[in-house]
């Protein structure tokens, strides 16, 4: 029994359950790692599919085995092994999780609630906010529930402002899609009145139906967040402070604990962004580390790094616009192209990819299927990150001090991109994807605006390091979260 006790009280047992996407899982696994040193019992619940890939391509099993109070468990996501699990099937993934995982999750937490032997009974669930059924079940079974969101606070705040947007008739957009002026300013999101446009709202907002089920789901999630005991976000006060103030009007007990990839305890010894201090991966793809040797042979800040994350899929025409834009810029590039990210039929995708790989090599550049992104961003040869503006990528780029070129695709990425370019002023946004625009913006960021952007993002990087240092806001919020979790079994 002593191993289950902390200061004479039963140790809390937490279950962390991310939505089974690469970004969500990676972010929450970093949260789990920051909590491992607290002495709490932690069960990390992964989908079967993701766990198989995580163990296949990383050392996660060995890495987490250092903590005897940590364990992995798995649950079915209801999708076949060859399912693409991409942006275009995002809501199919959500629906499948609810249909398949919800009854399994119920059985699991009932069993964990009554657990004995090596593990104390389950006392708290920290669940991804885009799976509301997890919180509903926790409340039904009288288990403490905390919501975790892997997106930015600025995007989350736009979700909370949905009723305002409808009340002000700023949603839905009127007219045919090809007639809607997407540059019209948005005035009903407090704190963003001076710079937010229609095109900067999350992609979910572009429906013409005010009763759209996705919008209804977002509203329900917002209501749920106001009712749970706490909300944890992967951000930091010096980055999103004004928006966090707005958000706290709805969710007072808010823990900002980012950048989680840096706060993770295995990196706390690092006082610099050198690649040698980069931690092991949580990737669901095999990382091609050969790109690091290639980067070692390049001049400082001479390389464009381009990656659109784990979900984005694009067609042949878009791929060719990227290709010609990068080549015409005259800059060396390291381009990540997942084999499943090219949306063409038959074997044409493999042919196109082979041609791009060979063409890049002929020009002294490099294309890989997947890269160790944090390590790449921290390499001195990287001068700019051409990104989809996913939140993990944005936080990693800020922490590494690398300016961004943003081409948002989905969900929170539009809001993130606008903040990068217009609020934090650490990058530029691409409103259209054509070779001429890509060429021009790459040259602007790498040449004319280079010093200005490097100075701006360097300042944010310093603030990020301060936040995760002893006495910093994120470090203090993590300590407060741990104390809150430790108190669960005392009441």
Please check whether residues 135 and 96 belong to one and the same domain: yes
- Say which residues have a Cβ less than 8 Å from residue 96's Cβ, sequence separation at least 6: 77, 78, 79
Please indicate, yes or no, if residue 174 is contained in any of the structural domains: no
119-142 mean pLDDT: 93
Phi, then psi, of 12 in degrees rounded to 5: -65, 145
Please check whether residues 321 and 262 belong to one and the same domain: no
Kindly state the tokens that stand for 82. 């060859």
Please check whether residues 240 and 295 belong to one and the same domain: no
Helices (H), 249-289: 260-263
Please indicate, yes or no, if residue 230 is contained in any of the structural domains: yes
Nearest-angstrom CA–CA distance, 473 and 466: 8
Q: So what's the pLDDT on residue 208?
A: 84
Q: So what's the pLDDT on residue 277?
A: 42
Please state whether beta strands 5-6 and 9-10 pair in parallel, antiparallel, or not at all (unpaired): antiparallel
Please indicate, yes or no, if residue 173 is contained in any of the structural domains: no
Please indicate, yes or no, if residue 139 is contained in any of the structural domains: yes
Please indicate, yes or no, if residue 388 is contained in any of the structural domains: yes
List for the chain the helix, strand, coil content (%; round to 5): 50, 15, 35
Please check whether residues 303 and 241 belong to one and the same domain: no
Please check whether residues 485 and 425 belong to one and the same domain: no
Q: So what's the pLDDT on residue 265?
A: 52
Q: So what's the pLDDT on residue 274?
A: 41
Burial zone of 300 (CB within 10 Å; 0-12 exposed, 13-18 middle, 19+ buried): exposed
pLDDT single digits (tens) 9-59? 567 899 999 999 999 999 999 999 999 988 899 999 999 999 999 999 999
Per-residue pLDDT band for 489 (boundaries 50, 70, 90) equals: low
The region of weakest confidence among 90-94, 257-261, 346-350, 374-378 is 346-350
Q: What is the mean pLDDT of the chain?
A: 90
Please check whether residues 384 and 346 belong to one and the same domain: yes
CA distance to 339, 378, 396, 410, per residue, from 401 (Å) = 29, 8, 9, 24
- pTM as predicted: 0.93
60-78 mean pLDDT: 94
3-state secondary structure of 483: helix
Please check whether residues 262 and 285 belong to one and the same domain: no
DSSP type of residue 185: B
- Say which residues have a Cβ less than 8 Å from residue 62's Cβ, sequence separation at least 6: none
Please check whether residues 227 and 354 belong to one and the same domain: no
Q: So what's the pLDDT on residue 41?
A: 94
462-484 mean pLDDT: 96
Nearest to 303, CA basis, from 362, 378, 392: 378
Please check whether residues 473 and 462 belong to one and the same domain: no
Q: CB of 344 within 8 A of CB of 352?
A: yes
Please indicate, yes or no, if residue 273 is contained in any of the structural domains: no
Q: So what's the pLDDT on residue 2?
A: 46
CATH number at residue 307: 3.40.50.2000
Q: Which domain holds residue 61?
A: 2-155+210-266+469-490
Please check whether residues 346 and 254 belong to one and the same domain: no
pLDDT single digits (tens) 277-317? 445 789 999 999 999 999 999 999 999 999 998 888 888 89
CA distance to 236, 265, 437, per residue, from 71 (Å) = 28, 17, 48
Helices (H), 348-390: 348-362, 373-377
Q: Which helix (H) or strand (E) holds 41?
A: strand 41-47
Nearest-angstrom CA–CA distance, 291 and 284: 18
Nearest to 408, CA basis, from 312, 306, 285, 334: 312
Please check whether residues 326 and 257 belong to one and the same domain: no
Question: What total number of domains does the chain contain?
Answer: 2
Please check whether residues 237 and 309 belong to one and the same domain: no
Please state whether beta strands 9-10 and 144-149 pair in parallel, antiparallel, or not at all (unpaired): unpaired
Q: CB of 386 within 8 A of CB of 405?
A: yes
Please indicate, yes or no, if residue 179 is contained in any of the structural domains: no
pLDDT single digits (tens) 388-434? 999 999 999 999 999 999 999 888 999 999 999 999 999 999 988 89
Please indicate, yes or no, if residue 186 is contained in any of the structural domains: no
Q: How far is CA 312 from the centre of its chain?
A: 13
């Amino acid at each position: 029994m002593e191993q289950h006790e902390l200061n004479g009280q039963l140790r809390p047992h937490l279950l962390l359950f991310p939505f089974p996407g690469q970004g969500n899982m990676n972010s929450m696994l970093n949260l789990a790692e920051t909590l491992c040193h607290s002495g709490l019992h932690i069960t990390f619940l992964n989908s079967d599919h993701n766990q198989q890939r995580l163990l296949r391509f990383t050392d996660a099993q060995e890495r987490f085995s250092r903590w005897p109070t940590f364990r992995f468990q798995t649950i079915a996501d209801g999708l076949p092994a060859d399912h693409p699990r991409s942006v275009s099937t995002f809501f199919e993934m959500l629906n499948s999780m609810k249909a398949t995982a919800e009854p399994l999750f119920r059985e699991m937490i009932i069993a964990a609630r009554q657990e004995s032997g090596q593990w104390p009974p389950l006392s708290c669930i920290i669940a991804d906010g885009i799976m509301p059924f997890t919180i509903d079940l926790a409340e039904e079974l009288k288990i403490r529930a905390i919501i975790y969101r892997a997106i930015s606070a600025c995007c989350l705040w736009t979700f909370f402002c949905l009723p305002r947007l409808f009340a002000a008739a700023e949603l839905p957009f009127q007219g045919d899609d090809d007639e809607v002026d997407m540059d019209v300013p948005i005035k009903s999101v407090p704190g963003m009145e001076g710079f937010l446009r229609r095109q900067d709202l999350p992609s979910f907002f572009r429906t013409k139906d005010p009763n759209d089920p996705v919008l209804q789901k977002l509203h329900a999630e917002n209501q749920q967040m106001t009712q749970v005991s706490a909300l944890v976000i992967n951000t930091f006060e010096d980055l999103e402070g004004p928006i966090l103030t707005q958000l706290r009007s709805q969710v007072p007990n808010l823990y900002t604990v980012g950048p989680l990839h840096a706060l993770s305890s295995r990196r706390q010894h690092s006082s610099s962004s050198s690649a040698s201090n980069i931690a092991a991966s949580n990737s669901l793809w095999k990382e091609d580390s050969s790109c690091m040797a290639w980067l070692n042979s390049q001049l400082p800040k001479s390389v464009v790094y381009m990656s659109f994350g784990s979900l984005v899929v694009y067609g042949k025409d878009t791929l060719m616009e990227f290709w010609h834009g990068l080549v015409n810029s005259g800059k060396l590039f390291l381009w990540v192209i997942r084999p499943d990210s090219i949306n063409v039929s038959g074997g044409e995708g493999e042919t196109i990819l082979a041609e791009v790989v060979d063409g890049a090599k002929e020009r002294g550049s490099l294309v890989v299927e997947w890269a160790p992104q944090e390590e790449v961003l921290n390499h001195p040869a990287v001068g700019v990150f051409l990104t989809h503006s996913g939140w993990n990528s944005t936080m990693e780029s800020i922490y590494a001090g690398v300016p961004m070129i943003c081409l948002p695709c989905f969900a929170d990425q539009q809001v993130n991109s606008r903040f990068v370019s217009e609020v934090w002023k650490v990058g530029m946004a691409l409103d259209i994807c054509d070779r001429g625009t890509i060429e021009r913006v790459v040259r602007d960021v790498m040449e004319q605006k280079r010093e200005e952007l490097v100075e701006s993002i360097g300042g944010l990087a310093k603030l990020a390091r301060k936040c995760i240092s002893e006495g910093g806001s994120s470090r203090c919020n993590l300590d407060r979260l741990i104390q809150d979790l430790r108190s669960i079994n005392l009441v």
